[in-house]
């Protein structure tokens, strides 16, 4: 498959939903049903992407502007803080959709998201695409090399691992900031540069993850490192120059932590995380994933853009997020009553997250 373009740099898209010869019958049946459906559920709506992005980023930056501008502890700041965190999280969640767009789909949107959102929040898509591709891989899903498999990081039920996971979440924004602020130092020696690319160029909390680098990955990382370095440098520089108060830095940190926490809470319930670290077949992969069809408040909060149909997304990674709900409803009405697909539904975020946190015993 051809590569995607982000800011002039090639990045392989995440699209791995072709029908395979060794698929279990009910998975093949579900995929064939979608492909034979009267509606094309793979058709991208550019207007939907742009509206979701522009509404999210405008709301995020407006709320963040109020939060950062008003006096410390003022009611305006207290009200603006959760709103800014929510909208930044919602805007940032679109990095997932950027990574799943096809080779030549919406290049201007990819560029706009990275320039206006990814660089400004130090979360550019080249730092996500590769490890998200590994998360969808049959080879890596559920193994220690899967950077998005929370069980690899937290090992639910172990108090020490939960505490360690929490500390890592709290430290993560600072680590990302330093990663970009220290970009020039990564070039002091080829070995330092190589370690940085492999171990410190993925937006994951899995410290064991070793990024597999292609030539396109290296170009993509370099393309966004320079503007991200300038963005990171600007934060302390404006304080030193007296243009921003010193409180700007802890305020930005608090906002970043809140956004990361929202993302990590969502990730606790993407899957059941019942893998033992060994490679699994496609059926175990899908059955380990969750669909949330209820509209309870926590599910709606943590799963923006219909990505709560997460098992369906793993069945069809290239299906646009705005079609997941309708595709799920079509499958629910079309597949036989005894299809295992129906068992993927979960009643709400907490029903899965509590088992991830407390363990499956």
Segment 114-170, tens digit of pLDDT: 999 999 999 999 999 888 989 999 899 998 889 998 877 766 557 888 888 899 999
> Model's pTM, two decimal places?
0.90
Mean pLDDT throughout 320-341? 96
From residue 322, alpha-carbon distances to 12, 63, 97, 123 in Å are 22, 25, 10, 23
Contacts of 242 (CB under 8 A, 6+ apart): none
Mean pLDDT throughout 7-12? 37
Contact 301, 348 (CB under 8 A): no
Contacts of 73 (CB under 8 A, 6+ apart): none
Res. 293: pLDDT tops 80: yes
Identify the band that residue 258 occupies on the pLDDT scale cut at 50, 70 and 90.
very high
CA pair distance 151, 193, nearest whole angstrom: 29
pLDDT in tens, 39-74: 999 999 999 999 999 999 999 999 999 999 999 999
pLDDT in tens, 170-203: 999 999 999 999 999 999 999 999 999 999 999 9
Mean pLDDT throughout 284-301? 93
CA pair distance 53, 90, nearest whole angstrom: 9
Share of the chain above pLDDT 70, in %: 92
- Domain ranges in the chain are 4-358
Res. 34: pLDDT tops 50: yes
Res. 6: pLDDT tops 70: no
């Amino acid at each position: 498959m051809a590569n995607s373009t982000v800011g002039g740099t090639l990045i392989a898209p995440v699209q791995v939903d072709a029908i395979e010869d060794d698929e279990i019958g009910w998975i093949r049946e579900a995929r064939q049903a979608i492909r034979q459906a009267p509606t094309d559920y793979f058709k991208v709506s550019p207007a939907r992407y742009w509206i979701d992005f522009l509404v999210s980023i405008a709301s995020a930056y407006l709320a963040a502007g109020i939060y950062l501008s008003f006096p410390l502890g003022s009611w305006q700041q207290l009200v603006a803080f959760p709103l800014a965190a929510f909208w930044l999280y919602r805007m940032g969640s679109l990095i997932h959709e950027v990574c799943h767009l096809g080779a030549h789909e919406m290049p201007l949107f990819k560029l706009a998201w990275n320039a206006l959102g990814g660089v400004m929040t130090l979360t550019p898509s080249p730092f996500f695409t590769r490890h998200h591709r590994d998360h969808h891989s049959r080879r890596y899903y559920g193994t220690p090399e899967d950077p998005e498999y929370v069980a690899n990081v937290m090992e639910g039920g172990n108090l020490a691992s939960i505490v360690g996971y929490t500390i890592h979440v709290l430290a993560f924004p600072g680590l990302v900031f330093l990663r970009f602020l220290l970009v020039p130092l990564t070039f002091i020696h080829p070995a330092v540069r190589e370690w940085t690319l492999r171990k410190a160029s993925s937006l994951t909390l899995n410290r064991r993850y070793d990024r597999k680098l292609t030539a396109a990955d290296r170009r993509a990382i370099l393309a966004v490192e320079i503007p991200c370095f300038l963005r990171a440098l600007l934060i302390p520089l404006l304080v030193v120059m007296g243009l921003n108060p010193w409180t700007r830095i802890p305020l930005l940190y608090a906002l970043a932590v809140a956004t990361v926490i929202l993302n990590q809470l969502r990730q606790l319930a993407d899957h059941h995380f019942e893998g033992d670290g060994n490679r699994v077949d496609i059926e175990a992969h899908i059955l380990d994933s969750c669909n949330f069809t209820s509209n309870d408040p926590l599910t709606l909060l943590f799963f923006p853009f219909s990505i709560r149909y997460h098992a369906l997304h793993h069945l069809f990674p290239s299906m646009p997020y705005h079609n997941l709900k309708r595709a799920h409803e079509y499958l629910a009405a079309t597949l036989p009553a005894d299809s295992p697909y129906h068992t993927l539904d979960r009643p709400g975020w907490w029903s899965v997250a509590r088992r991830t946190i407390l363990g499956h015993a």
